[in-house]
């Protein structure tokens, strides 16, 4: 998709859709710029007849009998004093989605204070996300008019912010595509191949380890999880390193390309959507893609311990004791608590790189989904200052995270085992917190670290806001925004 600023010679009526993001007011005063003449008068009558006031979340699509313009679309932003980037992002998505669903691949977009960088960035993200639909395996219905947007022209926008927003939105769409692919398409080897393609496209460094190298590198926890599958694991390390980098951040993503639960097998209804257990890995791959495309000044290391958790004859068992890369031993009491085992070795490796900070992101616990629902994810940290930076980035991106406590000594006792240093599952109560406490044991104490638990937020069962049904790519824009703001 191409997003550009309207120049002095541009005529909004040269495109099939004129999209207006309007502040709330009486129908007679809702802004209809840049409509002119008879078209403006007609649309004003429709706005009044429909009693459209520009409330946040409201959309009015007006068919226009014009030689070029097919629709005028008015999306509400709410009261002028309460217009946030998130409202702009959602309104731009609604307006652009209305155009795409009606077969229109180009639109002009006008909004209040478009020169504000945050608003321009948000509007571009919304337009980029509006083109998303995972229809690779669908036979197209002849009645389906949906097209992907090719051109968006923004009046008085901020050029740099529009380009950043386009990249962020398109990278989240890329992340969603990867996360939506089923386990028969994306297994650990295929995910590693995707990482290699990404590296070739953007000039990144890429290192892939096979199962023998993984075992030789003393990744006993990760190797155990992969042992029950016919598809071998792959350890992925991507690096984006600009000249004179300001610092180094490591992003670790959970990469279970399918999770059956292992020998503690999941009930069938909970196994559905487990293609999405690689969503953390997809998010970090999307984030490094965005960082490289925006040419951000931070070195970024992306680490993924890709595996399948399957109940084969060689699968690891409850009661097994595993040794992680840093030497700590782990008693297995639930083979369906596998993600933290793969992350343990990945976090050890990330710590050895001596980055300035580490963020891991994972569809880790159902407990987090129970606590926060499916549209807010959990944040855990060993460093409140760094945690607040991630929360600030999430607020800017519109992705909701909530910080949960890590200071309960009673919960910490539950992570201990009488037979090993740690137990891999500390039970149902406080399960998201004890999982984070487990992961903390594999991060060097002096490195600021944040753990993001995106369980349930990674998949939308029903569409909402600018999310369509399926993988959401949740967390990718937060990570990219964090790197942009550092």
What SS3 state is found at 416?
coil
CA distances 311 to 261, 279, 366, Å, are 8, 21, 21
What whole-number distance in Å separates Cα of residue 130 and Cα of residue 17? Answer: 14
Is 266 labeled as catalytic in the residue annotation?
yes
What whole-number distance in Å separates Cα of residue 86 and Cα of residue 91? Answer: 9
Residue with token string 């191949």 = 193
What whole-number distance in Å separates Cα of residue 123 and Cα of residue 118? Answer: 9
Catalytic one among 340, 389, 477, 484?
340
CA distances 454 to 122, 125, 276, 363, Å, are 22, 21, 11, 5
What whole-number distance in Å separates Cα of residue 366 and Cα of residue 116? Answer: 39
Is 340 labeled as catalytic in the residue annotation?
yes
What SS3 state is found at 211?
helix
The maximal CA–CA distance of the chain, rounded, in angstroms, is 81
Residue with token string 């890709």 = 306
What whole-number distance in Å separates Cα of residue 221 and Cα of residue 238? Answer: 21
Q: Are 37 and 12 in contact (CB under 8 A)?
A: no
Residue with token string 């022209």 = 153
CA distances 276 to 279, 283, 289, Å, are 5, 11, 19
Catalytic one among 44, 53, 70, 266?
266
CB-CB neighbours of 179 under 10 Å:
29
Q: What is the DSSP string of 334-399?
A: -TT--HHHHHHHHHHHHHHT--SEEEEEE---HHHHHHH-SSEEEEEES-HHHHHHHHHHHHHHT-
What whole-number distance in Å separates Cα of residue 176 and Cα of residue 283? Answer: 9
- Angle in degrees, CA 385, 390, 394, rounded to 5: 145
List residues with catalytic annotation: 266, 340
């Amino acid at each position: 998709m191409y997003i550009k600023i309207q120049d002095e010679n541009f005529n909004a009526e040269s495109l099939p859709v004129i999209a207006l993001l309007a502040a709330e007011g009486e129908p007679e005063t809702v802004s209809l710029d840049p409509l002119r003449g008879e078209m403006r008068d007609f649309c004003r009558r429709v706005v009044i007849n429909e009693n459209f006031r520009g409330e946040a979340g409201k959309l009015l699509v007006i068919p226009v009998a014009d030689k070029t313009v097919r629709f005028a679309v008015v999306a509400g932003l709410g009261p002028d004093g309460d217009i946030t980037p998130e409202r702009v992002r959602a309104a731009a998505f609604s307006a652009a989605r209305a155009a795409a669903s009606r077969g229109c691949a180009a639109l002009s977009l006008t909004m209040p204070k478009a020169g504000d960088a945050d608003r321009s960035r948000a509007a571009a993200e919304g337009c980029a996300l509006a083109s998303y639909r995972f229809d690779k395996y669908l036979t197209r219905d002849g009645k389906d008019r949906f097209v992907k947007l090719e051109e968006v022209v923004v009046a008085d926008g901020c050029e740099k912010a529009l380009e950043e927003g386009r990249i962020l939105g398109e990278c989240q769409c890329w992340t969603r595509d990867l996360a939506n692919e089923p386990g028969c398409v994306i297994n650990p080897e295929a995910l590693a191949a995707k990482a290699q393609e990404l590296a070739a496209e953007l000039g990144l460094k890429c290192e892939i380890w096979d199962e023998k190298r993984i075992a030789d590198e003393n990744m006993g926890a990760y190797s155990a999880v992969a042992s029950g599958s016919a598809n071998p694991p792959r350890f992925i390390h991507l690096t984006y390193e600009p000249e004179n980098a300001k610092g180094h951040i490591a992003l670790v993503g959970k990469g279970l390309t399918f999770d059956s639960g292992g020998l503690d097998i999941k009930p069938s209804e909970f196994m559905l959507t487990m293609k999405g257990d690689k969503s953390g890995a997809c998010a970090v791959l999307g984030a490094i893609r965005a960082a490289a495309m925006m040419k951000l000044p931070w070195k970024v290391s992306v680490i993924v311990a890709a595996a399948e958790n399957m109940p084969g004859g060689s699968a690891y068992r409850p009661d097994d004791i595993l040794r992680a890369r840093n030497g700590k031993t782990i008693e297995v009491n639930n083979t369906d608590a596998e993600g933290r085992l793969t992350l343990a070795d990945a976090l050890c490796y990330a710590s050895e790189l001596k980055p300035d900070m580490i963020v891991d992101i994972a569809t880790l616990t159902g407990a987090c989904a129970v606590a926060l629902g499916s549209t807010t994810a959990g944040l855990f940290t060993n460093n409140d200052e760094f945690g607040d930076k991630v929360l600030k980035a999430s607020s800017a991106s519109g992705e909701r995270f909530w910080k949960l406590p890590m200071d309960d000594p009673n919960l910490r006792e539950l992570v201990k085992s009488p037979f090993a240093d740690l137990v891999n599952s500390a039970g149902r109560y406080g399960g998201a917190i004890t999982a984070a406490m487990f992961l903390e044991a594999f991060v060097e104490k002096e490195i600021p670290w944040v753990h993001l638990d995106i369980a349930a937020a990674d998949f939308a069962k029903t569409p909402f806001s600018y999310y369509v049904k399926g993988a959401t790519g949740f967390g990718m824009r937060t990570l990219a925004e964090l790197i942009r703001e550092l």
